[in-house]
Amino acid sequence: MRLSRGFARLLVVVALLTALPYEAVPRARVEGRQRERPEPFGSTCYTRITGSKVTAYCHNPYVAVDRVRLHIECDRWWDLDSDGSSVEAGPAQTVRLTGRCWKEVRSVWVSHRKRTP
């Protein structure tokens, strides 16, 4: 069986390319902007509900200042929900946030926002 000239050339090229080390084979370079990694941000917060009182501790391990805010949703329809004022948690700083309902607490969460210069 005889190989055609085109197929024989292709076979020789493939054999040579596989024999060369990876660095020797020319590759197309993709030039473009590298995607910037977002700067790590956000405090780690732990909340504790004791009866009708709520306490949250937020620790910021990052360089960017995190403005944290405590939100409390009360269980009773007549009990007002509350959104606390925002507090700045600086780098390596732990802040304490407190709030309460008159009766039972339904849910609690902490919101985060970067400080704008």
| pLDDT tens profile 14-47 | 776 676 666 655 666 667 667 788 888 889 999 9
* Structural domain boundaries, residue 90: 44-114
Which pLDDT belongs to residue 9? Answer: 80
Is the predicted pLDDT of residue 8 greater than 90, yes or no? no
Q: How far apart are CA 72 and CA 55, in angstroms?
A: 10
94 falls within a domain? yes
Which pLDDT belongs to residue 36? Answer: 80
pLDDT tens, position by position, 40-73: 888 999 999 999 999 999 999 999 999 999 999 9
3 falls within a domain? no
CATH of the domain at 102: 2.60.40.10
Number of domains, the chain? 1
- The values of phi and psi at residue 58, to 5°, are -125, 125
Q: Tokens representing 14?
A: 């493939």
Which pLDDT belongs to residue 22? Answer: 60
